[in-house]
Structure 1
Amino acid sequence: MFNNTYDIIVVGGGHAGLEASFASANMGCNTLLITSNLQTIGQMSCNPAIGGIAKGQIVREIDALGGFSGIITDCSSIQFRMLNTSKGPAMWSPRAQCDRRLFSYYWRFFLEKNDKIDIYQDTVVSLIVEKYKVKGVITYFGIKIKTHTVILTNGTFLNGIIHIGKKKIKGGRISESGVKGITEQLSKCFGFKHGRMKTGTSPRVDGRSLNYEKMEVQYGDINPKKFSFFYKTNKLIKQCKCYITYTNKIVHDIIKDNLGSSPIFSKSINGVSPRYCPSIEEKIYRFTNKDRHPIFVEPEGWNTVEMYVNGFSTSFPEKIQYESLKKIKGFEKIKILRPGYAIEYDYFYPEQLKLTLESKYIDNLFFAGQINGTTGYEEASAQGLIAGINASLKIKKKESFILKRNEAYIGVLIDDLVTKGTKEPYRMFTSRAEYRMLLRQDNADERLTHIGYKIGLISKNKIRIVNEKKNKINKCLHLFRNYFINPIDINFILKNKNFPIISDKKTIESILSRSEVSIEDIKSIPLVIDQIKKNDFDKEILEAVSIKIKYKGYIDREKRNAKKLLKLENIKIPNNFNYKNINSLSIEAREKLTYYKPTSLAQASRISGVSPSDLSILLLHINR
């Protein structure tokens, strides 16, 4: 049946598996995607949305590198919002509400258009490994398939158990079986360390049973943007409404009185819960000073009455879910279509991976997504992309692809996982990045597209588009630095804002650098309008230039700090370096460095327990 040897087999048809498959196929590798159910490819298991704080930046980075998550989101969006616009540009984060059915449809659509990708419905239960090198997989039906490389993207399916009250159902997602065999093989035969994590999802309810007049309306942006820099989709003219309501004391009392029936509090669940996305019962228990918690009511698509109750993830019995929900304003006549549930599953400690996401123990075996202890579609997609790229590069015997912390949020994500590990579901935040001003959502194409081109995922046409954008930005910066504004043209704006007026001519750059002056103020000056029209500077270009001028000090400082870090990144540590022989290192440093095996002095510096004096000693021995 499978006579040929595949270059790469991807196990799992979720967000990580799909990005891995496209990356490897588009880099020329014959790829087989094996998933337990062809009908749930690209399934949004939790809320029907992509992006958000830091997550939106990741999706734009994936797109800039040649991935597909942004394209799929744009094709299936029903509402778009740019979050945190009241804050600085480092915090601006795109988020789109999606049509769940269309999201899966477009993943499958693009998948089937790719001649380099074969898809097969079955369940991988073990790996074929010879001399610590992966050679193939064995499926539930006993089929052996040969391959040079395997990428595991099993999500929540490894020994997954679904919890609803006292009910325990084996499965990786509601109505879908879990996977047994892979954890047992990797841990018993090869010494992989693994743990248990827990995540959850909210009830789905019938939108016809809700009273939206009692809720706050959450509209999309008036001029919605898109995630993809390159793929053109129709403008999102019509948008679905989302709604906000709140829990209250009655809801809290019901939940407090029934905590014992939650598997989290009855200790039926041993896995670690997400700190930053807790269940409603954990929220009520942990935040006793809160009188209410927001509940976001999100449509599942254009042509469905199904609504997702974001903020009410729970594993309570169905009866308690119903009793507490109907006490929320607007939910008085609630009809539940599907109860919320918790799911407990295996993950592998990510510090057992290289920065390429290849295993340190088995050659040509890569891990991506929730199997590495992360939570979220976006984090999974990013890992899938990087695993697919590096698996392809290794087959071609080319240099590995590793993004640094100052280059992308994706670099921060993977470095955090591999260097520090995680004992709880890892979620990306802007606060995790040291160089937030450099890693903005608006400049992901400027940062990464040329890299995507070098590795073979970006076309010449896309590079041309980015270069044209860069040239226009530079041209606009030159204009703003050399074009002078008369006091009469700007002083009326300053007066209206109660700010000091100017007495002499000033360049546009000088005026725009003032905190009280916006790019919209500059655009309102007739002579400047003429120059903008003459040079065809659109809103995107003007926004980029405004950011570069207003935040120049912050950007320059982060660039200087990144250069200092780069010096440490360039000091490589040999893979077989023996730390145990360096007695001058602290005992903790020796233990940690031997376990993590950092590839550079910079990575070693981020390991907890490795002090500055340990680094100095290490540098001395490396130089020797």
Structure 2
Amino acid sequence: MISTQEYAAIVVGAGHAGVEASLAIARCGFPVLVITLDTNAIARMSCNPTIGGLAKGHMVREIDALGGEMGLAADATGIQYRMLNRSKGPAVWAPRAQADKKEYELYMKRALLSEKNITLKQGEAVEVIVRNGSCCGVRTKEGETFFGKNVILTTGTFLQGLIHVGEENYPGGRRDEPPAVGLSDSLRSHGIELVRFKTGTPPRLRENSIAWEILEEQRGDNPPPLFSYRTKNLKVEQLSCWLTYTNTMTHEIIRQNLHRSPLYAGRITGIGPRYCPSIEDKIVKFSDKEKHQIYLEPEGRGTDEIYVNGFSTSLPKDIQDSALRTIRGLENAEILKFGYAIEYDAAPPTQQKHSLENKNIKGLFLAGQINCTSGYEEAAAQGLVAGINVINKLRGRPEFVLDRTEAYIGVMIDDLVTCGTNEPYRMFTSRAEFRLLLRQDNADMRLIEHGYKLGLIRDDVYHEFKNKRDRIHRVMKVLKEKKHGQLSLYQVLKQPGKTYKSLISNELCSYNLSDEEILFLETEIKYEGYIARQMADVRKFKKIEKRKIPGSINYDLIPGLSREAKEKLKKVKPESIGQASRISGISSCDLSMVAISIEKTLKSEKDK
């Protein structure tokens, strides 16, 4: 059957990337078809029941400032909220929430169903339709053909998914869910390179089989730190998480059975995440460690399943059981679901532009784990950027690209499309050169203007933001003008131990600000010198980024350019000298040759 309707966009997959992409496009008035294998698994949390964390929490706040949904969903369905790294500098403070997994799914499904411009369809896309270098639709396993001006693939771990548990392996895209078969062959037939990656998940335990009374309790923060600038007055009864540790007995059982691990027996060929290793990897690679942290996290209010954070594994079921029972508090633990590893196809992201559109096939966008990333937040951010770029394309506007000075989202996408990755990419604060400017407390200051201009931020939200910004500016002005002895209040606040609330309590200032506004104000004042230094670095960065590389450049004709440089520049197709400088293997000499060639070409064209 061939559909007679042409959609503005077809989104394949309804995970964290697919949801953000489809909501953004639909909210801007364009019809979207969402095709997913299971309409009851919208934005399902395949692994941990957590949103946010180090750098990831920054991205969730950025998604929110741009008008995305993840922050609102996390606030609405959270069961525990914490601000991580409070003992360190504000650049690395990061909000994190335990979410009720089922409620999160239901929230996101309601969000999709409430959008009149979204058509949600259960099915399996097996082929992308490409005509004259442009993607114009998909065909499904069920024999249906759908046409759209743009196609966004957000397939997660489902492409040719293969699940491993000990000596067993079987096709699957996620626990108890089938893989997507056929689409990989279609992508390869259109020249898209695919690689094999791997990830995994830990066992789930029955709540009443755990000896909670002997474990270390981890409570949430009160009041709860929120993700969304649009969430007001959240009151919630928070649930605790609990800490325990592996021990030498645990490690010995795992070591003795490594030959039964598909990872170490050679049955898994996909490359796994370096920064979220399996328990087998931890025992082997950190053999000097006598213990590893294990966090026991509730998966929701209406379930007795407990997530064993830190024990991702694909060991056989009997070994998972015996190893877990050596851990304090888990001596009588009952496993409800066993851990597993999953291999899947992914597309090296150097094949995409910063807009996440494929460099060779117009109208084909890739977002999420198909771009070799890991994590819900990384996926959601990519989905939103892909969706925004579809919107701009439909409106005839330029590509929407966040650079490395604006957002962690910009850092991630630039890393992916410029440098690529040989393992599942995860965001860290250390990846950002300008992280003091990219704090979680100033995401709205950095990005909400973008969201408003795109039409993804409502008028009332934007006006509230402007009022907040004006309040902070007024207070900043007062602090600079008002004296306390020989010093201005601005200078007083710079001193160690001085806080804005102490100025109010001493009746030196009378402007009331929210805790969030105070955090922003104090950070801007106390770190003024460091911020000024980073701003100077930003100006240098932007100067290099402005030196654009023409799309018509022929690297083979540039004298003195190394063979390695020619190969990598032709593959990545950098858009600026700055982007070219971040490609591994490109030397300063290579950059000079490219810059000289561009100058000569421009001069020649000018003389004509």
The TM-score with structure 2 as length reference comes to 0.97
Q: Which amino acid aligns with 2:212?
A: Y
- Superposed, 1:366-405 pairs within 5 Å as 366-405=365-404
- Paired position in structure 1 for 2:591: 615
Which runs of at least 4 in structure 1 moved beyond 4 Å after TM superposition? Answer: none
Verify: 1:184 aligned to 2:180, yes or no: no
Q: Report which stretch shifted further, 538-547 or 243-252.
A: 538-547
- Superposed, 1:40-51 pairs within 5 Å as 40-51=41-52
Give 1:538's match in structure 2, choosing from 514, 521, 526: 514
Verify: 1:56 aligned to 2:54, yes or no: no
Q: Report which stretch shifted further, 80-89 or 191-200.
A: 191-200
- Paired position in structure 2 for 1:220: 220
Q: CA deviation at 1:200?
A: 0.3
- Superposed, 1:458-497 pairs within 5 Å as 458-486=457-485
- Superposed, 1:421-500 pairs within 5 Å as 421-486=420-485
Give the distance between the partners of 2:29 and 2:465, measured in 1 at CA: 24
- Superposed, 1:519-538 pairs within 5 Å as 519-525=500-506, 527-528=507-508, 531-532=509-510, 535-538=511-514
- Paired position in structure 2 for 1:568: 544
Verify: 1:514 aligned to 2:495, yes or no: yes
Q: Report which stretch shifted further, 43-52 or 395-404.
A: 395-404
Q: CA deviation at 1:521?
A: 4.0
Give the distance between the partners of 1:543 and 1:92, measured in 2 at CA: 11
- Checking the alignment, whether the CA contact within 8 Å between 1:27 and 1:389 is kept in structure 2 is no
- Paired position in structure 1 for 2:165: 164
Deviations 1:476-523, CA, capped at 9 Å, x for gaps: 11122222235xxxxxxxxxxxxxxxxxx4222212212343445444
Deviations 1:144-174, CA, capped at 9 Å, x for gaps: 1111110000000000000000111101001
- Checking the alignment, whether the CA contact within 8 Å between 1:8 and 1:148 is kept in structure 2 is yes
SS of residue matched to 1:17: helix
- Checking the alignment, whether the CA contact within 8 Å between 2:559 and 2:593 is kept in structure 1 is no
- Checking the alignment, whether the CA contact within 8 Å between 1:19 and 1:384 is kept in structure 2 is yes
Give the distance between the partners of 1:59 and 1:451, measured in 2 at CA: 16
- Paired position in structure 2 for 1:134: 135
- Paired position in structure 1 for 2:69: 68
Structure 2: any 5+ residue segments left out of the alignment? 601-608
Q: Which amino acid aligns with 2:419?
A: K
SS of residue matched to 1:39: coil
- Superposed, 1:148-163 pairs within 5 Å as 148-163=149-164
Deviations 1:176-199, CA, capped at 9 Å, x for gaps: 111111211221x22221111100
- Paired position in structure 1 for 2:605: none
Verify: 1:196 aligned to 2:196, yes or no: yes
Give the distance between the partners of 2:591 and 2:576, measured in 1 at CA: 11
Q: Which amino acid aligns with 2:210?
A: L
Verify: 1:324 aligned to 2:300, yes or no: no
Give the distance between the partners of 1:563 and 1:29, measured in 2 at CA: 37
Verify: 1:230 aligned to 2:230, yes or no: yes
- Paired position in structure 2 for 1:239: 238
Taking only aligned residues, the RMSD between alpha carbons, in angstroms, comes to 1.2
- Superposed, 1:552-567 pairs within 5 Å as 552-567=528-543
Q: CA deviation at 1:238?
A: 1.4
- Superposed, 1:350-369 pairs within 5 Å as 350-369=349-368
Give the distance between the partners of 1:136 and 1:237, measured in 2 at CA: 44
Q: Which amino acid aligns with 1:190?
A: H
Closer, same or farther: CA 544–264 of 1 in aligned 2, 3 Å: same
Q: Which amino acid aligns with 2:255?
A: K
SS of residue matched to 1:442: helix
Q: Which amino acid aligns with 2:488?
A: T
Verify: 1:16 aligned to 2:17, yes or no: yes
SS of residue matched to 1:3: strand
Q: CA deviation at 1:460?
A: 2.0
Q: Report which stretch shifted further, 596-605 or 54-63.
A: 596-605
Structure 1: any 5+ residue segments left out of the alignment? 487-504
Give the distance between the partners of 1:374 and 1:236, measured in 2 at CA: 34
Q: Which amino acid aligns with 2:418?
A: T
Deviations 1:45-103, CA, capped at 9 Å, x for gaps: 00001000000000000000000000111110011000001000000000000001110
Deviations 1:224-255, CA, capped at 9 Å, x for gaps: 121100243x5234100110000001101111
- Superposed, 1:73-112 pairs within 5 Å as 73-112=74-113
SS of residue matched to 1:40: coil
Give the distance between the partners of 2:261 and 2:426, measured in 1 at CA: 24
Q: Which amino acid aligns with 1:181?
A: G
- Superposed, 1:412-427 pairs within 5 Å as 412-427=411-426
Deviations 1:506-558, CA, capped at 9 Å, x for gaps: 22221221234344544442x13xx33xx332222222110011100111111
- Checking the alignment, whether the CA contact within 8 Å between 2:79 and 2:236 is kept in structure 1 is no
SS of residue matched to 1:25: helix
Q: CA deviation at 1:573?
A: 1.2
- Checking the alignment, whether the CA contact within 8 Å between 1:190 and 1:361 is kept in structure 2 is no
Give the distance between the partners of 2:110 and 2:263, measured in 1 at CA: 39
Give the distance between the partners of 1:256 and 1:311, measured in 2 at CA: 17
The TM-score with structure 1 as length reference comes to 0.94
Give the distance between the partners of 2:538 and 2:452, measured in 1 at CA: 23
- Paired position in structure 2 for 1:342: 341
Give the distance between the partners of 1:236 and 1:203, measured in 2 at CA: 31
Give the distance between the partners of 1:614 and 1:137, measured in 2 at CA: 41
- Paired position in structure 2 for 1:208: 208
Deviations 1:287-339, CA, capped at 9 Å, x for gaps: 01111000000001112211100000000111100100011000011011100
Q: Which amino acid aligns with 1:262?
A: S
- Checking the alignment, whether the CA contact within 8 Å between 2:5 and 2:147 is kept in structure 1 is yes
- Paired position in structure 1 for 2:562: 586
- Checking the alignment, whether the CA contact within 8 Å between 2:126 and 2:186 is kept in structure 1 is no
Give the distance between the partners of 1:432 and 1:567, measured in 2 at CA: 21
- Checking the alignment, whether the CA contact within 8 Å between 1:263 and 1:269 is kept in structure 2 is yes
- Paired position in structure 2 for 1:498: none
Verify: 1:5 aligned to 2:1, yes or no: no
Give the distance between the partners of 1:284 and 1:81, measured in 2 at CA: 29
* Percent of paired sites with the same residue: 47
Give the distance between the partners of 1:237 and 1:124, measured in 2 at CA: 40
SS of residue matched to 2:150: strand
Give the distance between the partners of 1:375 and 1:325, measured in 2 at CA: 26
- Paired position in structure 1 for 2:289: 290
Q: CA deviation at 1:407?
A: 0.2
Q: Which amino acid aligns with 2:205?
A: V
SS of residue matched to 1:467: helix
Q: Which amino acid aligns with 2:456?
A: L
SS of residue matched to 2:220: coil
- Checking the alignment, whether the CA contact within 8 Å between 2:44 and 2:101 is kept in structure 1 is yes
- Checking the alignment, whether the CA contact within 8 Å between 1:78 and 1:236 is kept in structure 2 is no
Give the distance between the partners of 1:345 and 1:359, measured in 2 at CA: 20
Q: How many residues align?
A: 599
SS of residue matched to 1:180: coil
SS of residue matched to 1:20: helix
Give the distance between the partners of 2:215 and 2:504, measured in 1 at CA: 38
Give the distance between the partners of 1:218 and 1:524, measured in 2 at CA: 33
Give the distance between the partners of 1:45 and 1:237, measured in 2 at CA: 24
Q: CA deviation at 1:118?
A: 0.6
SS of residue matched to 1:155: coil
